[in-house]
């Protein structure tokens, strides 16, 4: 399984789309309580569920990992974890996988400059207040300590989505063959 980690607008979602469309990976669809963004599809981008449903699943021990991020819950159901999938996680979610020693996981952190991330958030239509909030929040969440154990840190500032996807696919395939 490929895990992508990175702050808001680091390119994670676009890289996953490219890996799925061009390399045959399957996206592990996680669950969230946040509102859908324009163009997102329930069951494809996320399973958009109510806060109450999320908390019920949490109480029933159905989640492998979960996190509260920007006042919303995100989580991976145990039943959805299989090989040949790609998933986007926040550092806390990644740490759950990392500490579980779940076999066959290769993780990638997309390191991206704040100014480039800000520009991307503006282009996708995020509100300025939310952008400021996310940049500040991300600076506290995405620390060296929080991504400890990541297999690869990729500087995504000057790479296109296809270039990042090819690099991730190559590194993943090389690593799982060992």
Convert the pLDDT of each residue in 74-122 to its tens digit: 998 988 887 789 999 889 888 888 887 677 789 999 999 999 999 999 9
List CB contacts of 152: < 8 A, sequence separation 6 or more.
106, 107, 108, 109, 168, 171
Structure tokens at 60: 């029933």
Q: How long, in residues, is the chain?
A: 178
The secondary structure of residue 166, as a DSSP letter, is H
Judged against a pLDDT cut of 90, whether residue 59 lies above it is answered with yes
């Amino acid at each position: 399984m490929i895990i992508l980690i990175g702050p808001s607008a680091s390119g994670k979602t676009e890289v996953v789309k490219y890996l799925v469309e061009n390399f045959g990976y399957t996206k592990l669809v996680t669950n969230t309580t946040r509102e859908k963004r324009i163009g997102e599809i329930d069951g494809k981008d996320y399973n958009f569920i109510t806060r109450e449903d999320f908390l019920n699943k949490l109480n029933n021990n159905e989640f492998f990992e979960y996190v509260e991020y920007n006042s919303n819950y995100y989580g991976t159901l145990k039943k959805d974890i299989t090989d040949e999938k790609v998933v986007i996680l926040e550092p806390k979610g990644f740490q759950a996988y990392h500490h579980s020693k779940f076999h066959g996981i290769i993780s990638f952190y997309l390191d991206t400059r704040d100014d480039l991330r800000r520009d991307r958030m503006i282009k996708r239509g995020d509100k300025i207040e939310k952008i400021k909030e996310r940049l500040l929040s991300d600076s506290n969440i995405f620390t060296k300590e929080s991504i400890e154990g990541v297999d690869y840190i990729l500087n995504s500032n000057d790479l296109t989505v296809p270039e990042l996807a090819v690099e991730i696919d190559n590194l993943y395939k090389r690593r799982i063959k060992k």
